[in-house]
Amino acid sequence: MGQVDPAFIQELQHRPNLSFTVDDGIPTIDLSRPRDDPSLVTEIGNACKKWGFFQVINHGVPAEKRSRIEDAARSFFALPLEEKTKVRRDEKRVLGYYDTEHTKNVRDWKEVFDITAHDPTCVPASYYPEDSEVTWWRNQWPEHPHDMREVCEDYVAEMEKLAFRLMELIALSLSLPGDRFRGFFDEQTTFMRLNHYPACPSPLLALGVGRHKDAGGLTILAQDDVGGLEVKRKRDGEWVRVRPTPDAFIINVGDIIQVWSNEEYESVEHRVMVNSERERFSIPFFFNPGHSLVVEPLREVAEAQGRPAKYKGYNWGKFFVTRKRSNFMKLDVENIQIHHFKITS
């Protein structure tokens, strides 16, 4: 990536600080308890409410599956560009290798490899609301490393189990039946990303990922020991860093949970700082519902709150493909956001 191209440069107010705070107040939750353990449910609920972010330990994902995918990611990104571009993403094949993603119209200092969790995945063919045609997203697998496909598929299966367990705990924490969200993930549009953030000559001008909220249901992130993920602390709006914790996963509530829970829980802004010494790797798993789902506040949650629904329903598939499009190219308009569906009266 060489010297910093102006496309990477953040506006002054969005640039990171040289000094940063690691906030150990971000909860760490031990999952080695029975599925519906009341203290566990309470901890999950508090973490979602207060932080929107937490880490989990003793989550049951075998360490060996994680280290295999981490190794595969390292070998893939170490390949020459011409090899990586053989599985390059384009407007037709939206999964695969990509190094020019933009967040809020500024280029991110990273390269990625995207796969869908269920291959093929059905999504709307276009973002036009009146067009009901669908299309299928398919994975592209590189030749190297030779076991990339197997390693990713094994890891995805583990992530999915963990995601369902977490959604169950979140449901219980909202006084809902444990399986309340389950059916929403039929024909899921979940995808996973391998991120590589190369060392950056100007880490105070660029970001690995610009500030954003995750649009989907729930994100499960594996980060390495370098650090760089920053969360906008709800209490005071300060950017604070999530401490890299060996074997832990970082969980965050996405926009969809914010809507389902009628803002009982909020999706929190986060970003990634890069540094001039060390490259960094991370693997987010974005747990998303089926494309045809209309996302709206759950009636029973709004009733229990004694408040009206705060959002109009929106079609997840259309939202998702609109967002993908704007990640793909620099647009003149603001990216689609859930606040566009907020009921303001």
Residue 297: cis peptide before it, omega within 30 degrees of 0: no
Q: Does 106 bind ligand AKG (CB under 6 A)?
A: no
Cis, peptide link before residue 246, omega less than 30° from 0:
no
> Which listed option, Fe ion, ligand AKG, none, makes contact with residue 223 (CB within 5 to 8 Å by class)?
ligand AKG
Toward ligand AKG, which CB reaches closer, 244 or 297? 244
| CB closer to ligand AKG out of 101 and 264 | 101
Write down the least CB distance from residue 217 to ligand AKG, Å. 13
- Would you tell me how many other CB atoms lie within 10 Å of the CB of residue 107? 22
CB-closest chain residue to ligand AKG: 282
Residue closest to 96 by CA, chosen among 42, 141, 52: 141
Q: With binding defined as CB under 5 A, does residue 114 bind Fe ion?
A: no
Q: Is 282 in the site for ligand AKG (CB under 6 A)?
A: yes
What's the rounded Cα separation, in Å, for the pair 85 and 99?
10
Question: Of 68, 180, 270, 323, which lies in the binding site for ligand AKG, with binding defined by CB under 6 A?
Answer: 270
Residues 6+ apart with CB under 8 A from 231: 23, 26, 51, 52, 53, 239, 240, 241, 242, 252, 268, 269, 270
Residue by residue, DSSP assigns 275-321 as: -SS--EEEEEEEE--BTTPEE---HHHHHHHT---SB--EEHHHHHH
Q: List CB contacts of 109: < 8 A, sequence separation 6 or more.
A: 1, 8, 197, 198, 200, 206, 207, 208, 274
- 195 near ligand AKG, judged by CB under 6 A: yes
- Per-residue contact track with ligand AKG, 108 to 127, x per CB under 6 A? --------------------
SS3 196: strand
Footprint on residues 235-254 left by ligand AKG (CB under 6 A): none
* Among the residue ranges 6-14, 86-94, 221-229, 258-266, the one whose residues contact ligand AKG (CB under 6 A): 221-229
CB of 339 to ligand AKG, least distance (A): 18
Q: Which is nearer to Fe ion, 214 or 255 (CB)?
A: 214
Contact letters for Fe ion, residues 195-234 (x by CB under 5 A):
-------------------x--------------------
Q: Which of 295, 211, 233, 283 is nearest to 52 (CA)?
A: 233
Q: Which is nearer to Fe ion, 214 or 264 (CB)?
A: 214
Task: Tell me the number of residues near ligand AKG by CB under 6 A.
Answer: 11
- Other CB atoms within 10 Å distance of the CB of residue 4: 16
Choose the one of Fe ion, ligand AKG, none that binds residue 99, judging by a C-beta under 5 to 8 angstroms depending on kind.
none
- Determine the residue type at 28: T
Which residue, 206 or 229, is less far from ligand AKG as judged by CB? 229
Tokens at residue 328, please? 């793909």
- Closer to Fe ion at the Cβ: 99 or 214? 214
Binding site for Fe ion (CB under 5 A): 214
Binding site for ligand AKG (CB under 6 A): 193, 195, 209, 214, 221, 223, 229, 270, 272, 282, 284
